[in-house]
Amino acid sequence: MGKRRPGVGHHLALQGTLNRGIRESPCASPLALALPEGSVGTLYLVATPIGNLEDVTLRALRVLGEVQLVAAEDTRVAARLLRHHGIHRPLVSHRAPVEARSLPRLLEALEHGNVALISDAGTPAVSDPGRLLVAAAWAAGHRVVPIPGPSAVTAAVAAAGFAGPGFRFIGYLPRKLGELRRLLESLAEEEAPTVAFESPHRLRRSLEVVAEVLPRRRLALARELTKLHEEIRRATAEEVLAGLGERVRGEVTLVISGCRDE
């Protein structure tokens, strides 16, 4: 049997819920809040540029222009992207570490239309908010459709040129020194390159530990990929450290070579 269609009162309640969750932005359109009725919606996981706003697929732009709602890690960043491409859609904040708070209203929106999830850069739900929403959407019977696009991980791996059977992505490096040291020690016999994100504020400390634990291992440091000040360094950790300035800025992706490249 199909689900009972919601009445007018239900739609008014949903409208109020969405209005409370939407931050005003130049890209918000009041007309888009009139979500169509239906029982099953589609959650689109839309990859967005990692720096250069031109690095976005035609399909991603079409989907962002057609959905009833865009859930964004940071609505300010999302508004700039949508405005740049002439897209006008309402925005709902869906950010870490409080993404569970927006789950109810996003799941309710999926009962009446389609929702796009985007992060500040790259693919949502990969080292970014979204995993909880994706799992909840599957559990509720909705469709989940990935819209692939730019990736700092694959861009850095391609530019590094290290040998190995594939690569291993581990997200952000551990903050605690003990955990970081144990992780690096576990890579001593790893043949495939290992890819990780790192904060510019912790980069120097992390490279010092890499130089100590894996002194002969080469790595590629990719900083500000696709942006004006893009920089890629390829050397040992000690050599990369020697070439770093006093202050490192921007997004950083590290590719640590496997043991084949020692």
In the predicted model, is pLDDT for residue 244 greater than 80?
yes
In the predicted model, is pLDDT for residue 169 greater than 50?
yes
Q: Is 103:132 a contact under the CB 8 Å cutoff?
A: yes
Q: What is the pLDDT at residue 98?
A: 83
What long-range pairs does 199-202 form, CB within 8 A, spacing at least 24?
Answer: 199/172, 199/252, 200/248, 200/249, 200/250, 200/251, 200/252, 201/248, 202/173, 202/175
Q: What is the pLDDT at residue 34?
A: 43
List, in sequence order, every residue forming a beta bridge with 27; answer none if it has no partner: none
Where does the pLDDT of residue 97 fall: very low under 50, low under 70, confident under 90, or very high at 90 and above? confident
Q: What is the pLDDT at residue 37?
A: 53
Sketch the domain layout of the chain as residue ranges.
8-147, 152-261
Sequence-separated (6 or more) residues with CB below 8 Å from residue 111? 6, 38, 39, 40, 41
Q: CA–CA distance from 260 to each of 49, 186, 215, 233 (Å)?
A: 32, 15, 14, 19
**Residue carrying the six token digits 């979500």:** 35
Mean pLDDT of 203-223: 97
Q: Is 153:163 a contact under the CB 8 Å cutoff?
A: no
Could you report the per-residue pLDDT of 170-207, keeping only the tens digit for each?
Answer: 999 999 999 999 999 999 999 999 999 999 999 999 99
User: Quick one: fold of 152-261?
Assistant: 3.30.950
Q: Nearest-CA neighbor of 3 among 42, 40, 41?
A: 40
CATH architecture, domain defined by 8-147: 3-Layer(aba) Sandwich (3.40)
**Residue carrying the six token digits 């994100």:** 197
In the predicted model, is pLDDT for residue 9 greater than 70?
no
Could you report the per-residue pLDDT of 11-63, keeping only the tens digit for each?
Answer: 334 334 333 433 334 444 333 344 455 568 999 999 999 999 999 999 999 99
